[in-house]
Amino acid sequence: MEDIQNKLMPYICDANSAVQFKLVKSKEDLETDDGFFFPDMSHQIFGEKEQIFGFTDLKLRIYYTASSLQIHTKLLYGRKINPEQFDGVKADDIMKSVREVLPANVIENVDDFSKKLDGEPNFKPFGEIIYNYTRQQKGKSTKRNFEIYKADMTNPNFKEYHQRIESFILWFIDAACFIDSDDDKWDFYVVFEKCTEGGITSHLFVGYSTCYRFYAYPDKIRPRISQVLVLPPYQRQGHCTELITAIYQQYVPKAAVLDITAEDPSENFQRVRDFIDSKNCLKLPEFQDSKLGQKFSKEMRKAAQEKYKINRRQARRVYEILRLRITPENDDVAFTKYRLAVKSRLN
């Protein structure tokens, strides 16, 4: 028994390192071994253990054209288990599992996929541009340009584009599920890098967020930020911060918006949200140092809600963050007071 287990061991792969994504900008990108990024998780595709059985040196490469997100897959491995030598034990049907989570029109043939690259500069983002910003190029004096577009399902062909975007989420968002995009209460915000080379402008996909306009009694709406994703090559460069800021700019000025909520936020997303909300609230008289030393007040909740559409729970969280910021670490009395203020929420 132990013997057969030892023999099977080399055929077990960690799915999170076997699956590799690449955003393809040129035909050369299809040949090279660099520029890949990996999923954060794969349990929704390959099961709890996030393992794939039956191959050695497995690589499942999922290529996306960098603008229009056309998809091509390539399976590479050293050896595949031979059932005749292992009591009929078969390799997992990886492609079946992956096909279930990819849109239907994956391009099987690499030459066909490669031809799609010629049309990439013709790709135009869906919807309307609502926001733009720049980032300094690493080690250069030039800036990179980014644009955020707001789209919905009335934009022709956006449904298919969204399906291709959505094919990323199970690999990066815990408990993610595909949305019913036919529901017209969804708004979509998509971030692109705008690149101009040799007079040709392209829009490269960076990340996106969905937002559902919930009804709030009696005559308001309560937008809920749902899926948020910034692809790993673009993470930790402030794109989510810009994206959320752009979304706030859309909803905050609207009288019909009661407050903005977030669906089951991940820790990383919650930190970004805390950062934006705290920075905003610092501009309000109700969140100045003299007030923060006291209890969380009705005035704070009201100001956060009216000025920034922050809901009660998040306003309270912001208060705790900002109060901690002004509490001297070595002042035992002030720290005890802070702890008691937090405790009063937990009781």
Nearest-approach distance from CB 229 to ligand COA, in angstroms: 4
**What binding mask, one character per residue, do residues 157-176 give for ligand COA by CB under 6 A, x or -?**
---------------xx---
Among 114, 202, 237, 327, binds ligand COA (CB under 6 A): 237
Among 60, 71, 102, 240, binds ligand COA (CB under 6 A): 240
127 annotated to a ligand binding site: no
Among 272, 281, 318, 341, binds ligand COA (CB under 6 A): 272
79 sits near ligand COA (criterion: CB under 6 A)? no
Q: Which stretch binds ligand COA (CB under 6 A): 156-164, 268-276, 299-307, 308-316?
A: 268-276
Nearest-approach distance from CB 81 to ligand COA, in angstroms: 33
Residue 220: which of 316, 129, 128, 311 has the closest Cα?
Answer: 311
241 sits near ligand COA (criterion: CB under 6 A)? yes
CA distance 123 to 157: 12
Q: Which stretch binds ligand COA (CB under 6 A): 8-16, 83-91, 180-188, 269-277?
A: 269-277
In the numeric block, the tokens 């998809």 are attached to 71
Residue 44: which of 154, 138, 218, 171 has the closest Cα?
Answer: 171
246 sits near ligand COA (criterion: CB under 6 A)? no
71 sits near ligand COA (criterion: CB under 6 A)? no
Contacts of 331 (CB under 8 A, 6+ apart): none
Query: Of the two residues 107 and 282, which places its CB atom closer to ligand COA in the complex?
Result: 282
228 sits near ligand COA (criterion: CB under 6 A)? yes
Contact 51, 43 (CB under 8 A): no
Binding residue count for ligand COA, defined by CB under 6 A: 18
263 catalytic per annotation: yes
Contact 23, 233 (CB under 8 A): yes
Contact 337, 326 (CB under 8 A): no
Contact 81, 89 (CB under 8 A): yes
N-term to C-term CA, the chain:
54
CA distance 63 to 59: 12
Amino acid at 172: F
119 annotated to a ligand binding site: no
Residue 63: which of 37, 92, 97 has the closest Cα?
Answer: 37
Binding-site ranges for ligand COA (CB under 6 A) = 172-173, 228-230, 235-241, 265-266, 268-269, 271-272
- Active-site residue numbers? 263
The annotation places the binding site for acetyl-CoA at 235-241
